[in-house]
Structure 1
Amino acid sequence: MKTLEIKRFTVGTVIKSTLYLLFIPIIIMIIVGLITTMVLMIEDGAVALMGIFIMLLASLFYAGVYLGMIALMTVIYNWLAGKFGGLTIIVQEKDEIVAKEQI
């Protein structure tokens, strides 16, 4: 078994992997926004058109703030991991697993 310590994350890769997780809440926001737009369209068409723009802006604002916070947390982690140490991971190679199963 090997013990590895993660000292640094690349901000770009953290943001890219966060986008995968951020995709689900944004889709939910868009679906709720479309349902709300349909309801508003029945009552007043002009308000519904503004609702579409507000929904899109809210989704972009949410994504921007969330990605900004993740980037800031990554920079802070990199700084603190350099001073105090990072996450420790224990890795076991497949050959070791197979050897233990045969015993």
Structure 2
Amino acid sequence: MKKLEIKGIGTVSAFKATAYMMIIPSALLFLLGIILTMIAVVAQEPTLLALGIPYILMPVFLIGIYGAISMLVALLYGVLAKKFGGLELIVQEKTELDLTKGPAGNGYAPGPQSNFNPSNSPFNSGSSSPQSNVTPPPLPNLPSGPDQNSNT
């Protein structure tokens, strides 16, 4: 096992991560603003219009404010991590694939083989009626109507 210490976080990276996390809430606010604005225009209500327009503009400001705060936190973390030490991660490296632990090496041992073998199964090679001797039932005769097999 290895110990890794995080000494700093990139400020642009912190801004991008915050922006990605704010996409869905911002889209919902923007959608709500569009709906309120359309209702206000159709109903000719200036109070709804005064509510709808800020909801359209709010996502831009929220992403900007939250992004700036996350950049400030990343910068502050970098300064304090250099002085007092950063977060420590313990990492274990796995390089070999152990096929004895079940499918995809998931840590489960393969189970015991089943001894279930019914004597009347057509899939049993030692049964009295092997599968090769089994014939399917005949197909029913289909009536031929005027639409089938006519050239006129």
Shorter-normalised TM-score: what interval?
A: 0.7 to 0.9
Give the corresponding residue for 2:64: 64
Shift of 1:46: 6.2
Q: Does 1:24 align with 2:24?
A: yes
Given the two structures, how large is their TM-score scaled by the length of structure 2? 0.56
Q: How many residues align?
A: 102
Q: Give the distance between the partners of 2:87 and 2:95, measured in 1 at CA.
A: 25
Over aligned residue pairs, what C-alpha RMSD do you find?
2.7
Matching of residues 1-103 of structure 1 within 5 Å: 1-44=1-44, 53-95=53-95, 98=98
Q: Which has the higher helix share?
A: 1
Unmatched segments (≥5 aa) in structure 1: none
| Contact 1:37 1:52 survives alignment (8 Å) | yes
- Range moving further from structure 2, 39-48 or 6-15: 39-48
TM-score in terms of structure 1 length:
0.79
Q: 1:97/1:3 Cα in 2 relative to 1: closer, same or farther (>3 Å)? A: farther
Query: Aligned pair in 2 of structure 1 residues 96, 7: CA closer, same or farther (>3 Å)?
Result: farther
8 Å CA contact 2:32–2:52 kept in 1: the answer is: no
Q: Residue 108 of structure 2 aligns with which residue?
A: none
- Rounded to whole Å, the distance in 2 between the matches of 1:32 and 1:53 is 10
AA aligned opposite 1:65: I
Name the structure, 1 or 2, with higher relative contact order (CA <8 Å, separation 6+): 1
CA distance in 2, matches of 1:39, 1:97: 61
> 1:19 offset after TM fit, Å?
1.5
